[in-house]
Amino acid sequence: MQSSKAFDHLWMPFTSWQDAIDYPPLVIKRASGIHLYDRDDKSYIDGTGSWWVSLFGHGHPRITAAVRKQLEQVEHVMMAGCITEPTLHLTELLASILPGVMSRIFLSDNGSTAVEVALKMALQYHALTGCGNRTRFIALGGGYHGDTLGAMTVGSIPRYHALFHDRFKKALYTDPPYCYRCPCGKEPGSCAAQCMDSLEKLLDEYHSSVAAFIFEPMAQGAVGMRIYPAVVLERCFALCKKFGILTIADEVAMGFGRTGKMFACEHAHVSPDIMCLAKGLTGGYLPLAATVVNKTIFDAFKGDAFSNRTFEHGHTFTGNALASAAACASLELLREYDIPASLGARSSQLSKLLRTFYRYDIVGDVRTLGMVGAIELVADRATKKRLPARERIPFTICRNARAKGLLIRPIGDVIYFMLPYLTTEEQLDRVVAITHEAFKETIDEQLPHQ
Ligand SMILES: Cc1ncc(COP(=O)(O)O)c(C=O)c1O
């Protein structure tokens, strides 16, 4: 067991210095299925799928066996002049489930790099096709695409991006498709994707200098699991088609069945030009990402070593053999468990159970899509006034849930769930029961008049 000094050198992500002291991280010793176990062997349900990656839970025997077997053969080799069997097999397996005309797969190692690759490919594609003046990106308002500098230029969450936008570069942003606080004052029944009038305006003004439009399809995760309707996505695609703009779908968080379709773009029955994948690609075992493009994009890069058409990009661990073996096993499991078709019952249960949270006055909105569930808290349901940030009510709800054996983490005023797909009916009941207890305890402590 570590001494209290053990945390002295650690810098935790997305965590203030004071919180890291006041709330030191749980040290997880082992994991199995949807459960994590700390060093005292106390168990916690992994309610966020370890940052949205754990598709089949922890320690799935098939993925574990695949990684172990690969470890006995070769763990890593540079992907320049060499490739390993699982990496090769992975591209075949992935290609077999990609939508429409997506056919070329460029591997990297995390969601941010998948996005960096996509942005660079779009810029180079235009340079190679005689449109080198196309250098701007348009992004969906409220988007998040990772924390590296390029990915941040297309994100628009002030807390993460404002400082760096001032110092570096930013994209052009549409209105956010934030249905609960619709920027156009529409209700779900009357929505005709009017929020994307803003995209039309930007395209009208800037289309000749735009390299691509980038977006999180159907749900914007990091801004607070904001789910938007397919009509918005359809309008985005239609507008980009009308103005001849490349589309980059960032499916890092929502790909691989999470929204009830294998890829979230399928809700709009359209394939993007470029797609970014990561997180669930390896079932949550190892870092791996893919940027996938259609034939038109790839063809522009064809040429010999002197054609200046080569995509000069790569990461040391690109196509890592262990990660590829995990990804192959995970993609096979998607097929064998018939994901996403088999998720219907669990996602209906999630949707039904989360609606029970409307019994608390602090719940303003409950939204679900496939295996994504979110509850947005407010100070006043009628006015949608935001909670006083300094009272940290969502944070306290999650702390109280953790004490009862459920690990969840708020995003702003949103409590959300990204449970592994193999979560059973009873386990989901348990997740919701603990969350109710945590809500009640927090309201009793912090909002006794409610
Ligand atoms: C939509 C989206 N894109 C990109 C990323 C960045 O992925 P990573 O954290 O693996 O760099 C994330 C991470 O949450 C994401 O949600």
Decide: 89 and 69 in contact? Cβ < 8 Å: no
Would you state the pLDDT for residue 187? 86
Residue 115 CB less than 6 A away from ligand 1: yes
320, 290, 249, 266: which is closest to 111 by C-alpha? 290
Average pLDDT over residues 125-152: 97
Average pLDDT over residues 162-170: 90
Q: Of ligand 1's atoms, which has the minimum distance to the CA of residue 110?
A: 10
Distance between the two ends of the chain, CA-based, in angstroms?
43
Pocket test for ligand 1, best of 279, 281, 285, 414 (most atoms within 8 A of CB): 279
Residue 280 CB less than 6 A away from ligand 1: no
> Is it the case that residue 1 has pLDDT exceeding 70?
no
Residue 250 CB less than 6 A away from ligand 1: yes
Distance of alpha carbon 30 from alpha carbon 38, whole angstroms? 7
Would you state the pLDDT for residue 101? 84
In the DSSP assignment, the letter for residue 113 is H
Would you state the pLDDT for residue 3? 56
Separation of CA 145 and ligand 1 centre (Å): 5
pLDDT tens-digit map of 384-439 = 999 999 999 999 999 999 999 999 999 999 999 999 999 999 999 999 999 999 99
Distance of alpha carbon 52 from alpha carbon 75, whole angstroms? 25
Would you state the pLDDT for residue 2? 52
Which pair of tokens denotes residue 55? 């598709």
Distance of alpha carbon 81 from alpha carbon 343, whole angstroms? 41
The alpha carbon of 274 is separated from its chain's Cα centroid by a whole number of angstroms, namely: 16
Q: How confident is the model at residue 5 (pLDDT cuts 50, 70, 90)?
A: confident
pTM score: 0.97
pLDDT tens-digit map of 237-279 = 999 999 999 999 999 999 999 999 999 999 999 999 999 999 9
- Bridge-based pairing state of the strands 28-32 and 414-417: unpaired
Residue 146 CB less than 6 A away from ligand 1: yes
The pLDDT > 90 percentage for the chain reads 94
pLDDT tens-digit map of 349-385 = 999 999 999 999 999 999 999 999 999 999 999 999 9
Q: Which domains does the chain have, with CATH numbers?
A: 4-55+340-446 (3.90.1150.10), 64-336 (3.40.640.10)
Instruction: State which amino acid sits at residue 31.
Output: A
Distance of alpha carbon 222 from alpha carbon 220, whole angstroms? 6
pLDDT tens-digit map of 40-86 = 999 999 999 999 999 999 999 999 999 999 999 999 999 999 999 99
Q: How confident is the model at residue 4 (pLDDT cuts 50, 70, 90)?
A: low
Strand partners, 220: 226
Distance of alpha carbon 17 from alpha carbon 271, whole angstroms? 43
Separation of CA 253 and ligand 1 centre (Å): 6
Q: Look over the chain and give the mean of its residue pLDDT values, rounded to a whole number.
A: 96
Residue 408 CB less than 6 A away from ligand 1: no
Q: Alpha helices, DSSP H only, in 207-320?
A: 230-243, 295-300
> Is it the case that residue 156 has pLDDT exceeding 90?
yes
pLDDT tens-digit map of 311-353 = 999 999 999 999 999 999 999 999 999 999 999 999 999 999 9
Choice between 191 and 5, residue whose per-residue pLDDT is larger: 191
Instruction: State which amino acid sits at residue 347.
Output: S
Q: Alpha helices, DSSP H only, in 27-145?
A: 49-52, 61-71, 85-97, 111-128
Q: How confident is the model at residue 6 (pLDDT cuts 50, 70, 90)?
A: confident
